């Protein structure tokens, strides 16, 4: 058999390529919509994490190393519990291609939320403002 028997018609090949591109775009849009449905829950987890983080005090040294590790684990717990439950479900019900897109979208949302709520909180965010006032008071009392 010659290789020409296995070559696809140019028109059919172009049509299939176009359909593949459209399918990928639709999957990306659906993954984004699906991921965004978790935005408020992820934001809640980040706020809980920020609250726990602001409660951690003191310098890191050999005497406090174990306590810092325990505090770090405790601080991550709200997000990790949420993600563990969701990712286990997604891994069970999603096809691999869809799962990769959903995970990518969730990762983007988690990183954006982490940045907005913990790393670079907005000055106009009431929760963060209250936490900063609390920390400032504690520092001024200790001085």
Q: In angstroms, rounded to a whole number, what is the distance separating the alpha carbons of residues 110 and 114?
A: 6
Q: How many CA atoms within 13 Å lie on the side-chain side of 51?
A: 11
Q: Is 36 exposed, middle or buried (CB count within 10 Å of its CB: 0-12, 13-18, 19+)?
A: middle
pLDDT at 27 over 50: yes
- φ/ψ of residue 8, rounded to 5: -85, 145
Write the pLDDT tens digit of every residue in 89-117.
Answer: 999 999 999 999 999 999 999 999 999 88
pTM of the predicted structure, to 2 decimals = 0.69
């Amino acid at each position: 058999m010659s290789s020409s028997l296995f070559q696809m018609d140019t028109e059919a090949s172009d049509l299939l390529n176009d359909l593949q591109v459209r399918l990928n775009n639709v999957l990306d849009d659906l993954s984004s919509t699906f991921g965004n449905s978790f935005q408020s829950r992820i934001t809640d987890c980040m706020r809980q994490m920020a609250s726990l983080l602001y409660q951690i005090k003191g310098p890191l040294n050999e005497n406090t190393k174990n306590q810092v590790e325990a505090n770090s684990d405790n601080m991550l717990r709200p997000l990790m519990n949420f993600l563990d439950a969701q990712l286990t479900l997604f891994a069970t019900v999603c096809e691999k291609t869809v799962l990769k897109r959903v995970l990518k979208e969730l990762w983007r949302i988690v990183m954006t939320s982490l940045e907005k709520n913990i790393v670079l909180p907005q000055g106009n965010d009431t929760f963060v403002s209250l936490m900063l006032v609390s920390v400032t008071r504690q520092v001024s009392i200790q001085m």
